[in-house]
């Protein structure tokens, strides 16, 4: 049975900075396409204390897009207010996925005003599904706001919270030929000695992804840092070469 819609209105921002129609419609829309018997398995896979409704990610995205088309956003301020409210007041993990998905829109892509939201996602989400979904948004910001993002990603690469460091390492995954190899080198180098699995995996992933564009650069990089890169990072980097 689908969860009942909450009758509370917990949004802390002024209503003129929220798309209240979207917020009111999202949970019923997700509940309408949920497969409740999948919810426990999804939560177990993600090791999530926040429950799932049982909606696969492609269906969440389709639902979010349809609802945003029905209840369009007026400006970036309203988008920021809405995704922040949705993130903080979510009862189900799919609602948090929806908040991140909303930033992947014509209105949100490359918008530096959403950077505080991405930082909140990393700081409070602290798991790979959230952090890895935010990473492409960081690349869009790097493209459009390099003087802000380049030093910020370098700062994040040394952050006490390793999830910020993971975000910095994988921030250029979509970059292809536009990859800033100096930045990639620098954010990886400061994390080579880290024993955290999610950092070592991220380093390997970032290198493997760039190897699709410049395999020689990656081969040379791994060879030059033999003994410094962890076996996991090296193995992942060279997996498809």
pLDDT at 14: 52
pLDDT digits (tens, 9 = 90+) for 6-46: 333 344 455 558 999 999 999 999 999 999 999 999 999 99
Q: How far apart are CA 131 and CA 53, in angstroms?
A: 21
The answer to whether 114 and 80 have CB atoms below 8 angstroms apart is: yes
Looking at per-residue pLDDT, the higher value among 4 and 207 belongs to 207
Q: How far apart are CA 55 and CA 119, in angstroms?
A: 25
Q: Where are the alpha helices (DSSP H) in the chain?
A: 20-33, 39-46, 57-70, 76-89, 93-103, 115-120, 128-144, 146-156, 162-169, 181-189, 197-211, 215-224, 231-237
Band of pLDDT at residue 231, cut at 50, 70 and 90: very high
Average pLDDT of the chain to the nearest whole number? 93
Fold classification of 16-108 is 1.25.10
pLDDT at 222: 97
DSSP 92: S
Domain boundaries, the chain: 16-108, 114-241
Residue 96 has pLDDT above 60, yes or no: yes
Q: What percent of the chain has pLDDT over 70?
A: 93
pLDDT at 16: 59
- Across 86-101, average pLDDT: 98
Domains 16-108 and 114-241 in one fold: yes
Q: How far apart are CA 204 and CA 16, in angstroms?
A: 44
What does pTM read for this prediction?
A: 0.91
- Across 116-140, average pLDDT: 97
Q: Which CATH class is domain 114-241?
A: mainly alpha
Q: How far is CA 199 from CA 192, 194, 220, in A?
A: 8, 7, 21
Q: What percent of the chain has pLDDT over 90?
A: 93
How is residue 14 written in tokens? 């002024």
Band of pLDDT at residue 4, cut at 50, 70 and 90: very low
pLDDT digits (tens, 9 = 90+) for 144-188: 999 999 999 999 999 999 999 999 999 999 999 999 999 999 999
């Amino acid at each position: 049975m689908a969860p009942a819609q909450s009758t509370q209105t917990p949004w802390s921002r002024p209503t003129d900075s929220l798309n209240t129609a979207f917020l009111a419609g999202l949970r019923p829309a997700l509940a309408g396409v949920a497969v409740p018997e999948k919810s426990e398995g999804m939560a177990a896979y993600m090791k999530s204390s926040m429950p799932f409704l049982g909606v696969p990610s492609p269906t969440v995205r389709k639902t979010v897009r349809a609802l945003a088309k029905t209840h369009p956003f007026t400006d970036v301020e309203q988008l920021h207010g809405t995704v922040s409210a949705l993130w903080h007041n979510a009862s189900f993990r799919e609602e948090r996925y929806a908040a991140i998905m909303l930033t992947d829109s014509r209105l949100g892509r490359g918008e530096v005003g959403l950077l505080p939201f991405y930082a909140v996602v990393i700081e409070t989400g602290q798991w790979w599904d959230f952090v890895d979904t935010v990473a492409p948004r960081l690349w869009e910001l790097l493209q459009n706001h390099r003087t802000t993002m380049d030093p910020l990603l370098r700062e994040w690469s040394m952050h006490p919270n390793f999830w910020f460091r993971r975000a910095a390492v994988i921030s250029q995954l979509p970059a292809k030929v536009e990859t800033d190899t100096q930045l990639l080198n620098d954010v990886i180098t400061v994390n080579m000695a880290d024993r955290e699995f999610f950092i070592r995996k991220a380093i390997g992933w970032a290198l493997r992804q760039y190897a699709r564009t410049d395999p020689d650069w990656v081969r040379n990089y791994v060879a030059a840092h033999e003994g410094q890169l962890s076996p996991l990072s090296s193995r992942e980097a060279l997996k498809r070469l």
